[in-house]
Structures are given as C-alpha cells and as structure tokens.
C-alpha cells in the first residue's frame, strides 16, 4: 500500500475542494488494474489514435496501472470513472505524461484540469519534480492555460514503423 492509498479520505476531500464544479460524489484516486477496461474505453477517442490509426493497446495500458514506476490517476463521479491521467516516471525525478483523457460524454466540466492540478499537487509524493509531454495542436491551449511551456520552434513529427 503506498502513501496515496493510506490517505484516500484526504484525497477525496482534496478532489471535492479542488473546483466548485465537482460534485460531492467526485473523487480522484490512483488507477489500478481493476480500472483497466474503463480506462481503455476512455482512451478510445479519435483524438487519441496513433499515426497508424490504432488506439493504445490493452497490454501497454495495463503496464501503467500495475507498474510501480507509473503514477496514474482517475476521476470518478458517482462511482463511474470519467477521466484518466497516465504518467510514467523517468530518471532525474521526472515523468512523461502519456495521456489526459476525459470520457466524451463528460467533457467540458473541467475534469481534465482537475486531474492535472491534483497530479501536480501530489507529484512530489512520488518523487516527481518535472513533467514532459507531447501534445496535439488541439490541446496546446489546455497545457498553456496550466503553465506548460511550448518550445518556440517545437515541431513534432510522428514516425511509425511496425517491426513485427
């Protein structure tokens, strides 16, 4: 049991106090393997498809929910997982943020912002002091709004090659 699980009641209070638009039945907690199928459902959005047209594979996502090097959170409303934030720790006290995704039926309520703010507030508890991420053009303003810096000359070209 990690420090986060030991303090779940405080986490629930933090989540409820994080933003006024969250209901009393909202909570943020770490994702675990039992959350895998719902996490996969949330990640199956056109905006999250890879350049080859595929979605993240279940085996790869399960790694983020079971590996101690990964720190991933979910936001639940009325006991339904509606948003996920998935990261993996890197060396030098950093992490890569792989996904922030909100169920399309629940977008526009600030749940992605709530998850990001919660993660940033608690990242130091997991030894994380900096975050790296790639973002689509459509999400640049979201990250800028939260203080993330985009390199002046940043252009990412996605490359893909199937080695099987």
Written as tens digits, the pLDDT of the chain (164 aa) is 444 443 333 333 343 444 434 555 799 999 999 999 999 999 999 888 888 888 989 999 999 999 999 999 999 999 999 999 999 999 999 999 999 999 999 999 999 999 999 999 999 999 999 999 988 888 889 999 999 988 777 777 666 666 76
Q: How many domains does the chain have?
A: 1
Q: Residue 100 is encoded by which pair of tokens?
A: 């922030």
**Which residue from 109, 108, 96, 104 is spatially nearest to 135, judged by alpha carbons?**
96
Inside any domain, residue 152: no
Report yes or no on 150 lying in a domain.
no
Question: pTM here?
Answer: 0.81
Let me know if residue 153 belongs to a domain.
no
Asked whether 133 and 97 are in contact (CB, 8 A), the reply is yes
140: domain CATH number is 3.40.630.30
The domain containing residue 63 runs over which residues?
3-145
Confirm whether 7 is domain-assigned.
yes
Query: Structure tokens of 92?
Result: 């030098």
């Amino acid at each position: 049991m990690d420090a986060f699980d030991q303090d779940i009641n405080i986490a629930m209070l933090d989540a409820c106090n994080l933003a006024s638009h969250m209901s009393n039945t909202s909570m943020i907690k770490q994702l675990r393997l039992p959350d895998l199928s719902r996490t996969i459902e949330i990640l199956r959005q056109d905006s999250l498809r890879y350049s080859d047209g595929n979605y993240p594979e279940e085996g790869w996502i399960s790694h983020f929910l079971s590996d101690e090097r990964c720190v991933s959170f979910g936001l639940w409303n009325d006991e339904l997982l509606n948003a996920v934030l998935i990261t993996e720790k890197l060396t030098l006290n950093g992490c890569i943020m792989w996904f922030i995704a909100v169920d399309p039926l629940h977008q526009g309520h600030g749940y992605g912002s709530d998850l990001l703010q919660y993660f940033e507030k608690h990242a130091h508890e997991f030894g994380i002091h900096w975050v790296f991420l790639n973002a689509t053009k459509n999400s640049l303003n979201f990250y800028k709004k939260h203080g993330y810096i985009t390199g002046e000359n940043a252009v990412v070209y996605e490359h893909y090659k199937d080695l099987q």
